[in-house]
Chain A
């Protein structure tokens, strides 16, 4: 990885590849997942099982739209999921790869 990302999380660009941050673990739950970042010691939640699948599959696809295709997110909800991923990037839950 380049060192350009050190410091700020960087701007979210759906055209780029992302992955779950290596210091973050997910624990699946009926409502979605618990998210724990061991580095920042912050607990948060993913509030739908679909978002858990999207986050889990990010690393296997070249960009966000192809990830949403693979998980089968309906057209009407893609904007919502893209916005959610932008939030997860600024929280440090996901990172560019």
Chain B
């Protein structure tokens, strides 16, 4: 049996997992996978997080990808980082850079087993801040300056590819090279608030081809989190990586309240396997009926007769789910164009509208500035010209 076949059937413990420590975030990115913003009062306590780390150590999960929300705004974040490293659970954490002061960068540079990933979705402030919010480009650049000045070599710059930043691929690479960092590009998913911006932000078919060719040119120099395997049908050369959907098989997600999901892009009840508070993470991983289903041989469904199925494996489960497509059919970005007809029918047929992300921690909409005359009435019945001034 090939290695990939072992992975399809699931392992006794994940190879690695994503752990989102908090839904709190200082930013409000338009494509946030986890619809983050406000802290959830039920988030795991420090002691509960330590218990999860103890269990990951016992299961020999060698590293976790910590995210959020913005994980560094948790007051116990640096303690948990040290605790994990002290228990042989390596950490890579994703941050927008808000807490990466020069002092913090120096202490991180002195810590083994820790990797830092700075999120940036545009190589220029205009493109970045349109998605991530005003000032976020400058914040990320300052964090990278601090890491580089502290001698932290090889930190990661993580970019979600959108219609607006695909033309900036070379510029992202230049930024990474300038800081001695490594570029990581990943696929936009229609998950969380990403569902709201998917249609306008996901790369065009021409851009998908460009991403594929650019990745082939750069080989293992650029990381992808294995997220572009649906593009393998574009050519005879597969992209580096395992090229399989590892959801519930070799990876999963623990969310801030301890819920375990099949993958970070599938925060929805349909993909919830259990909670670490009940019987611990290991029990969820081993006994969840959802994960047992995912580990059974997959049929390929409508894709099974396609010549490219062995290359793309039908693409991303979460992308299909949140665009209303059947899980055993083509990916919404199927490079053979096989999803177009199905997508046109979503909402029109018996299937109804695509499922909506059902966990929302977004902050209330920002206060809109402007002349009172340009404001809409507060409520449909509230037509006084002074409405909103009180």
Interface residues of A (CB under 8 A from B): 25, 27, 29-31, 34, 36, 38-39, 41, 43, 45, 47
Contacts and interface: CB of A to CB of B under 8 A. Distances in A.
A36 B6 contact: no
Given A25-B62, A29-B6, 12 more contacts: A25-B60, A27-B13, A29-B11, A31-B1, A31-B3, A34-B15, A38-B88, A38-B113, A43-B15, A43-B16, A43-B63, A47-B3
B63 A36 contact: yes
Contacts of B112: 38-39
A34 B3 contact: no
Contact of A45 (B1, B3, B13): B3
Contact of B60 (A27, A30, A38, A45): A27
Interface of B: 1, 3, 6, 11-13, 15-16, 60, 62-63, 88, 90, 92, 112-113, 115
A41 B13 contact: no
Given A39-B112, A41-B90, A27 B62 contact: yes
Contacts, number: 36
B147 to A, nearest CB: 15
Contacts of A45: 3
Contacts of A25: 60, 62, 88
Nearest to A39: B112
Contacts of B15: 34, 43
A27 B1 CA distance: 19
B92 A41 contact: yes
8 contacts: A27-B13, A27-B60, A29-B6, A31-B1, A36-B62, A38-B113, A43-B15, A45-B3
Contacts of B113: 38, 41
Nearest to A31: B6
Contact of B6 (A30, A39, A43): A30
Contacts of B12: 29
Contact of A38 (B3, B13, B90): B90
A29 to B, nearest CB: 6
